[in-house]
Chain A
Amino acid sequence: MPKIMIVEDAPFIVESFKEIITDQGWEVSCVATTGFEAIDLYKKNKPDAVLMDILLPGLDGLTAIKKIIEMDPKAKILVVSALAKKDLDKECLKAGAKGFIKKPFDTKTFVTNLKGILGAK
C-alpha cells in the first residue's frame, strides 16, 4: 500500500486530498504545512510519494524539493501549485520533481498524475 506525504498549508485542501487518496486504497503517511516540516517528516517517514505545494510559510516548496532530492535522489514528488509564475513547472522538474499540476484541477487529473508518479522508477 503506497504511503503518501501531503505538504500543503490549506487544511481544506489537505482534507480533500486525504479523501481521494484513501478512496484509491492508499495511505496518507503524514501532513506537513511548512517546507522545514516537509524535509523533517520525509526523513522520518520515507513516504512513497510527496504532494508538494509551492507557496508555503517559511521555507518554500521549491527549496524543500531540492533538499529532499539531496537526501533521496529517488524521491517521487508531485507539485500541486496555484502559483502561476512563468516557467515554475520547468524549475520544479529541474529541481527533481517528477510531475506538476496546476490548481485548480479535477479528481481525474489528480489521480492520473499521482498514479503516474507512483509508477515512475
Chain B
Amino acid sequence: MAGEDAKKEGTGLDHVIGSELSATLLESIDIGVYVVDDDFNILFWNSFMEKYTGRSRTDVLGMNLFEYFSHLKDTGWPDNYNRVFEEGFTFRVYNSPAMFIPKVLEHTGGVFHNIRLYPLFAKKGEVRGVLTLLEDVTDRKMMEERSQELFEYASDAIFIMNSDGRFTYVNQRAVIELGLGKEEIIGKFFSDIVDPSSLDSVATAFDRLLQGDEVRGLQCTVVDARGRKVNLDINASPIRAADSKEITAYQGIARNITARKKIEDEIKEIKELAERILTAIPSGVLVVDRHLTIHSVNDAFCRTFQSSDKDAMGKNLVDFLPAGFFGEEGSEDRVSEVLEKIRAGATYIRNDVAHKTSKGEFKLDFEFVPLPGQEGRTLVIIDDVTEREKLEEQRREGIKLQTEVDKLKEVDEMKSRFISVASHELRTPLTGIMLYLERLADGKYCMMTELHRTKVFSVMEQIKLLAKIVDEMLDTTRLEAKLEELRLEPCFIKDVISRSVLKMTSQAENKTQRIELKVQDDIPKVEMDPDRVERVITNLVKNAINYSPENTNIIIEAGLDHEKANLVVKVIDEGPGIQDIHKEKIFGRFYVIDKSLTRLVGGLGLGLSIAKGIVENHGGKIWVEDGKPKGSVFIFTLPLVTNVK
C-alpha cells in the first residue's frame, strides 16, 4: 500500500518504504510518520498524520510541506530540515511547541511534540529524503507536571544529592520539615543538618551509597532552622549515568517520624512502667485466654504458686487452682458455667479461697476481669489476704481490749470522784463529833469520872485517825487527777529534809530511834514544790519509824546521780526489809504488807502511794531496794532540769 502511495518514482527509496511489514507497522502506531524528499515534497503520510491533522493522504502526497502547511514557513523548521539534508545527522527536539495544529484540540494550555528527523540515504549515500516522527506528548507533559506537583507536596521529603553529597534538589515537603528555604538547602551538605548524635549512622549509610548499595530505614536526627530535632526515616539509592553506570547522584526519600518516635517512646515507657508495676505489686496478675490457658504471669503469681513464668506459660490455670475451685472436683459443668459468665463480660470474684502449699495454708482472693476486645482474654488478679485476715483479727481484738481499758478507766475515774465527794462529806460530821466529844470529856453535859474521860479520849483518837484517812484519800485522788498543780520554786533539798526531820524527831525519840542526815555539799537549788517534797520525805521517814524496831538508826542521804542529771534522796532503815513480791505493789493505793502491823501503826496504806504521785508529778522516780546488811532503802529522784508533766 505504501508503495502505491509513493507517486514519485526513481528516488531509490523503494527499499525503505516498500516493505509490506514496515508499512503495516507505520500505519498502526500512534506516532505521526511522514517522509519528504529533498524538495520537501511529501512522499509518505501515515494514517496517524491523517487523523491528527485532518488532511488525507490524497490531499498532501506530492505537496510541498512548507507550501501546504504554510505556517511552518516562518519557523525554524525549514532550516532544521535543510541541516538534516546537508549534514545527514538525526535531529531531535523534545517538548517542542506544536508543529502541526491538531484537528481536535484537547488542551487549551498548548500542544507539545517530540519530533525526530531522520535522514534517508539513497543507495548512493546521499540524503534524498527525511523521515519525520511526530509524537504528541502534551498528555505526558501534563502528567509530568502533575507528578512534579505530587512530588513537591508529597507527605515525604524527597531530595537529590550530587556525587559530592550536596543537595541539588529538595521538594516542598523537605522545605516544610526543615524550615529552610529551598535555596538555603540547595548546595548544603547532608552533614550540615545532621544532629551530632546521628553523624556516625549517616556516615555509614553514605559509605554504602558510595559502594552502590541502597540504604533502607536509616533512622537519623536532623536539626531544623529553629534548632529543633527532627527524626527522619530515610530510604536512599544511588543514581547512575545511563551509559557509563557511574554514580552521578543520590536520591532519597525521608519521612518525619518525630511524632511517631515520640509515641513509640511513650508506648515503650508505658510498657516498661506497666511491667515494673506488675513486678512490684504484691498481687498475682496473669492473663488467660478463653480456655484458661495462661499467657502471661507476674512475679507475685510465681511466688504464690511456687512456679516460674516459664513453667506457668501455656499451662491451664485450673492446674494451679486449689481443687474444687469452681465447684465439685471434676465438675466440668461448673467450670464452663463460670467461664461462660466471664466470656459474657462479667467480673467473677472469689474471696478467702484456701490454698495449701508446703509453706502452709494461704487465703487468696481471686478476681477475673474480662478484657474487652481481647478475644475472650481475661485478667486474673490474685491477692494473698492471709496477713490481712490476721491483721483484721488483731484489729478486732485490739478494739475489744481498748473498750475494756476505757471501761476500766471510767470505773477508776468514778472511784476517784467518789472518794473526793465522800471525803468532803465526811469532814462536816467529823467536825461536829470532835467538838461534842471534847465538850463531853470536859464534863459540859454530865459528871465525868476519869474512866469516862479516858474512854472519850480514845474515841477522839479514832476520830482524829479517821480525819487523817479522809485527808490521805483526798490527797491520792487529787494527785492522780493532778487537780493540784505543783508550786515550783528553787530549793535546797537540805532545807526541805531538815523541816521534815524537825517534825518527825519526837516520834523517833519515842521509839529511841535516831535520824541521821547525810547531805552532799555540792547540790544546787532544785526546782520543786517544797511542801510536797517534804511530805514525801515525811511519809518515808514515818514508815521507817513505824516499821523499824526500837534503838535503830534512820539515815537520810541526798546527793546527785552519776550523770548529774537527778537529785537522789535515800531513806535507809534497819527494819525487817521488804520482800521482792511487794516491792512494786507497796506504791499502789491501800496496799499494806502486814495488816496487823498496819492496825498497830494506824494508816490506810496511802503514804507511799501519795509519795509516788508527788515524785512522778515532778518527773522523778521512786522505788525501794534492800538495805545492807538488812532493812530497806527507799529512793526517789528529782530531775535537776525541770520537766514537770
Chain A residue at smallest Cβ distance from B423: A84
Q: Is the CB of A107 within 8 A of B424?
A: no
- B448 adjacent to chain A (CB < 8 Å): no
Asked if A12 and B432 sit within 8 Å, CB to CB, the answer is: yes
* Contact B435 A86, beta carbon cutoff 8 Å: no
Known A19-B439, A104-B467; judge A13-B423 contact (CB<8 A).
no
Q: Do the beta carbons of A105 and B474 come within 8 Å of each other?
A: no
Measured CB to CB, the nearest residue on chain A to B435 is A16
Of residues 393 through 445 on chain B, the ones whose CB sits less than 8 Å from some CB of chain A are 423-425, 427-436, 438-439, 444
Write the nearest CB–CB distance from B488 to chain A, whole angstroms. Answer: 15
Is the CB of B483 closer than 8 A to any CB of chain A? Answer: yes
Report A-chain residues with C-beta under 8 Å of the C-beta of B484. 86
Inter-chain CA distance A10–B427, complex, in Å, is: 12
Measured between alpha carbons, how far is A82 from B422 in the docked complex, in Å? 11
Would you give the 0/1 interface string for A88-117, flagging 1 where the beta carbon is closer than 8 Å to chain B?
000000000000001111110010000000
In the complex, what residue of chain B is closest to A19 when comparing beta carbons?
Answer: B439
A71 in the interface, Cβ–Cβ < 8 Å? no
CB distance from B384 to the nearest CB of A (A): 59
A12 to B428, CA, bound (A): 9
* Nearest chain A CB to B484 CB, angstrom units: 5
B435 x A106 contact (CB < 8 A): yes
Q: Given the known A-B contacts A13-B432, A86-B484, are A107 and B439 also in contact in the complex, defined by CB atoms under 8 Å?
A: yes
The answer on a CB contact under 8 Å between A13 and B439 is no
Q: How far is the CB of B637 from chain A (nearest CB, A)?
A: 26
Please give me the residue from chain A that is nearest to B483 by CB atom: A86
Which residues of A sit under 8 angstroms from B428, Cβ to Cβ?
10, 13, 82, 103
Give Cα distance in the complex from A70 to B193, angstroms: 103
B438 engages A10 (CB within 8 Å): no
CB of B483 within 8 A of CB of A103, answer no
Known: A82-B424, A103-B430. Is A16-B467 also a contact (CB below 8 A)? Answer: no
* Residue from B432, B463, B478 within 8 A of A10 (CB atoms): B432
**From A12, which residue of chain B is reached at the shortest CB distance?**
B432
Q: Which of B425, B431, B483 contacts A104 (CB 8 A)?
A: B431
Closest A residue to B430 by beta carbon equals: A104
Count B-side interface residues using an 8 Å CB cutoff: 24
List A contacts of B425 (CB < 8 A): 82
A33 to B485, CA, bound (A): 33
| Contact between chains at A19 and B444 (CB < 8 Å) | yes
Which chain B residues border A16 with CB–CB below 8 Å? Answer: 431-432, 435-436, 439
Give Cα A86–Cα B531 distance, bound, in whole angstroms. 14
User: In the complex the two chains form, is B432's CB within 8 Å of A107's CB?
Assistant: no
Say how far A45's CB is from chain B's closest CB, in angstroms. 24
Q: Which of A13, A19, A23 contacts B431 (CB 8 A)?
A: A13
Main secondary structure of the interface of B (DSSP, over half): helix
| Most interface-central of B423, B428, B432, B474 (chain A CB within 10 A) | B428
Residue of A whose beta carbon sits closest to that of B436? A16
Q: Which of A17, A84, A104 touches B434 (beta carbons < 8 Å)? A: A104
Question: Which chain B residue shows the least CB distance to A81?
Answer: B427
In the complex, what distance in Å separates the CA atom of A107 from the CA atom of B431? 10
Partner of A84, one of B424, B436, B444: B424
Cβ contacts under 8 Å, A103 to chain B: 427-428, 430-431
| Assembled-state Cα–Cα distance A55/B425 (Å) | 10
Q: CB-CB < 8 A to A110: which residues of B?
A: 435
Contact with B along A45-68 (1 / 0, CB 8 A): 000000000010000000000000
**Residues of chain A in range 1-28 having any CB-CB distance to chain B below 8 Å:** 10, 12-13, 16-17, 19-20, 23
When C-beta atoms are compared, the residue in chain B nearest to A84 turns out to be B474
User: Which residues from A are CB-within-8-Å of B433?
Assistant: 104
A34–B430 CA distance with the chains assembled, in angstroms = 21
The CA-CA distance from A24 to B478 in the complex, in Å, is 38
A residues less than 8 Å from B483 (CB atoms): 86
B427 touches A106 (CB 8 A): no
Instruction: Evaluate contact between B474 and A12: CB separation under 8 angstroms.
Output: no
Instruction: Pick from B431, B439, B463: contact of A82, CB below 8 A.
Output: B431
Complex-state Cα separation, A107 to B428, whole angstroms: 14
Most chain A CB within a 10 A radius of its CB, from B424, B430, B432 = B432
Q: Please name all residues of chain B whose beta carbon is closer than 8 Å to the beta carbon of A104 when the two chains form the complex.
A: 427, 430-431, 433-434, 463, 467
Closest CB in chain A relative to B394 CB, distance in Å: 44
Closest to A8 in B: B428
Chain A nearest CB, measured from B542 CB (Å):
21
Distance to closest chain B CB from A121 (angstroms): 28
Q: Which residues 477-492 of B have a CB within 8 angstroms of A?
A: 478, 483-485
Given A82-B424, A86-B484, A105 contacting B444 (CB threshold 8 A): no
CB-CB under 8 A from A86, the residues of chain B are 478, 483-485
Report chain A residues within 8 Å CB of B436: 16
Binding site for B on A (CB under 8 A): 10, 12-13, 16-17, 19-20, 23, 55, 82-84, 86, 102-107, 110
7 pairs from A and B in contact (CB 8 Å cutoff): A13-B431, A16-B431, A16-B436, A19-B439, A86-B484, A103-B427, A104-B434
